[in-house]
Chains A and B, each alone.
Chain A
Amino acid sequence: MKLKSANKLPSALAAAEATPLTELTGIELTGGYISDLLSDVLANAQPGVLWVTIHTHRNILSVASMKDIAAILFTCGRKPETAIIAEAVEKGILLLSTPLSTYETAGKLWKAGLR
């Protein structure tokens, strides 16, 4: 299933208790990818996915824009610095944060239909 509109997207993200750190604009997600290894994301993530990670360093933005990743969801309540959020807005990458663990987050997103 693809979440094609901003209308459907919030329900899946709400299920994963994710709050947007940047403005939640019309976005299309093609699925999800979980990894905390940047090279692994570079090698294996598909364009347009939601990337779930614990990393908040600005390198994630370089990797995300290189792979045309649409959104990044930080787990375990992590949030990047304000400067990085600003850079993400500039690059058109949606940032979100959830208090849940990566494992719980994945389960809830999957159940909500993000596949």
Chain B
Amino acid sequence: MQHGARRMKNMRARPTNVAREPAIASANFEELMARTPAVEKNLNPGEKRQVSFAQVLVFELRVRNAMTSPPITALPTDTMRSIQHLMKAHRISGVPILANEVLVGIVSIEDIINALDGGYINDPVEKRMSRKIVTLRDHFSLVRAVAEFDRHGYGRFPVLDANNRLVGIITRGDVTTCLMHHLERRAEEAIAKEAALAAVRAADEKAPRIVINADVKSGDFESAGKLSQRMREVLRARGVVPDIRRRAAIIAYEAETNIIIHSLGGHITATIDAKKVRIKAVDNGPGIENIELAMQEGWSTAGPLARELGFGAGMGLPNIKRCADKFSIQSELGIGTQLQATVFLQKAEVTL
């Protein structure tokens, strides 16, 4: 049974007929709980706990989120007949009885049927109401409310606040409706977020490809890092996360200084598109005699000037390889060296 009229005020978005079908709502609730998997036990460390939205909600939501408030009440001096009319008018199944704002009893639809049956429908309420009342607090979780419904078998509970004031009434149907309403809202939010992310991705796809070029002269230590810096600025403007920016910059810088230190001069190109940055460094020789050795950390053929400036650690190529998602190097003595490294871009999370 439901408090249809009242509920409509709280749940404006829901069509009237849904809230007026308590039997269906109730069935949905049982079904929902049955399908909701229990929290897995005996998980291995690090294993992800699968907790459904419904489970989270039922713990997060409070009785005050689901109850009908304010409740429709009556006085002890009212007749059972007037309660019957109240129930009919508001489509409710239980009416709390207040004397001087204090909850003193409750009349349920079963009490009314018994009154009709026993011929005392015109008696005052105080003679016939149930005085044994189980109440819930408005701060109780819905999971506790469900447990109380199961424990007592009542169709409804009056809800009291911390000051023992009657602030609402809650039925099983209220719990279901509240849960459904929140699930629906979360689903709508998820759909909206997904759409926003898709829009961001679509904008990314259209991001123009940017190519940064630089000639690199042999021995030009003063210019080292210029291309790397320009590339970093583009990546920052595109919202690439700092760690990825740094990796791409290190590759470009090491590739640049390699050409400065070791080659007769060359050219470096950074191509940035929506998904990756590709750095290509080509020099005009003399070529690397033994690539395997050059890839070894600590092995360097740098001259005294380069070493004086802090280069020649023998870490350049290993650094590039470590920072790259894809890496290749070819070299031919007397011709030159060609290096290619790719870093896949990662954008900062879009928070909505």
Binding site for B on A (CB under 8 A): 36-40, 42-43, 47, 53, 55, 57-63, 65-68
Contacting residues, chain B, for A55 (C-beta < 8 A): 309-310
SS class, residues of chain A in contact with chain B: helix
Given the interface contacts A42-B253, A62-B253, does A37 sit within 8 Å of B221 by beta carbon? no
Measured CA separation A66–B254 after assembly (Å)? 11
How many residues on B have C-beta within 8 angstroms of the other chain's C-beta atoms?
25
Q: Are B319's CB and A43's CB within 8 A?
A: yes
Task: State how many angstroms separate the Cβ of B202 from the closest Cβ of chain A.
Answer: 31
Task: State how many angstroms separate the Cβ of A5 from the closest Cβ of chain B.
Answer: 23
SS class, residues of chain B in contact with chain A: helix
Contacting residues, chain A, for B254 (C-beta < 8 A): 39, 42
Measured CA separation A37–B312 after assembly (Å)? 8
- Looking at B83-91, B177-185, B242-250, B279-287, the stretch in contact with chain A turns out to be B242-250
Task: Compute the total of residue contacts between A and B using a CB distance below 8 Å.
Answer: 66
Q: Within B95-150, which residues are at the interface with A (CB < 8 Å)?
A: none
Contacting residues, chain A, for B246 (C-beta < 8 A): 47, 66-68
Q: Within B286-319, which residues are at the interface with A (CB < 8 Å)?
A: 309-316, 318-319
Task: State how many angstroms separate the Cβ of A2 from the closest Cβ of chain B.
Answer: 19
Q: Within B222-239, which residues are at the interface with A (CB < 8 Å)?
A: 222, 224-225, 228-229, 232
Chain A's closest residue to B248 (CB) is: A66
Q: Are A57's CB and B319's CB within 8 A?
A: no
- Listed by A's residue number, 22 A-B pairs whose Cβ atoms lie within 8 Å are A37-B310, A37-B312, A38-B313, A39-B315, A39-B319, A40-B313, A42-B250, A42-B254, A43-B319, A47-B246, A53-B310, A57-B221, A58-B222, A59-B221, A59-B224, A59-B225, A62-B228, A62-B229, A66-B228, A66-B232, A67-B246, A68-B242
Tell which of A43, A53, A65, A66 touches B315, judged by Cβ atoms closer than 8 Å. Answer: A43
Given contacts A43-B315, A57-B221, A66-B250, 6 further A-B pairs with CB under 8 A are A39-B311, A59-B310, A62-B253, A63-B253, A66-B246, A68-B242
